[in-house]
Amino acid sequence: MRHISTALAITLVSGVVFAEQRHAGAHVHGLNHATIVLEGNRLQIAYEFPAGQLAEHGHDEHKHDEHDDEEHELSEKLEAIDSVFAMVRLPDNAQCKEMNVTHSVTQVGGNDKEHAGHYDALIESTLECSAANNLTNLSFAPAFERFDDLEKIEVEGVIGSKALSQTVTATSASLAF
Ligand SMILES: [Zn+2]
């Protein structure tokens, strides 16, 4: 019974965190969002960022009549990032193995012209950590190394029974919980 209510609480909290993050829209270049939920040995990480970060030389100038091609190209670039470990580093002794990764590219504001040519990229990863009690910290240094135009990451989540809400930067890319 206790397990069921804990699991339910985590699901609700993570749903709310994620919904808020989506709602904030927060398509701000240089700002990324991560949601982290640890429940037992299962760790879920969602990492969302403006897809312009995937372009080799900053945010592309868009040809507005080529949306479909562009979305396809962004999806290919996003799918080339085949693991969440491209963004985040976890303690080795937590023994986290990535079980599943999904990718999606979404146009900001649907078909709203104001945001034409702007897309959000999302990577969602599910991991199993056989020594989850060693998961006491993590680092987003890999993301800062990968993306030149990344300034900060807003991190939200639930680790066991603790809520997590912190902002990390290139010079302070780690967080402890
Ligand atoms: Zn954009």
In the predicted model, what is the mean pLDDT of the chain?
85
pLDDT at 71: 85
DSSP at 88: -
Mean per-residue pLDDT, 47-75 = 74
Q: Single out the residue of 128, 153, 132 nearest to residue 143, CA to CA.
A: 153
148-175 pLDDT, tens per residue?
Answer: 999 999 999 999 889 999 999 999 999 9
95-104 pLDDT, tens per residue?
Answer: 999 999 999 9
Q: What's the CA-to-centroid distance between 3 and ligand 1, angstroms? A: 41
Length of the chain (residues): 177
> Domains of the chain: which residue ranges?
2-176
* Continuous H helices in 24-152: 67-79, 141-146
Q: What's the CA-to-centroid distance between 47 and ligand 1, angstroms? A: 16
DSSP at 172: B
Structure tokens, 13: 């909290």
Q: What's the CA-to-centroid distance between 112 and ligand 1, angstroms? A: 13
Mean per-residue pLDDT, 92-96 = 98
- Using CA atoms, how far apart are residues 76 and 54, in angstroms rounded to an integer? 10
CA 71 to centroid of chain Cα atoms? 19
Q: What's the CA-to-centroid distance between 79 and ligand 1, angstroms? A: 18
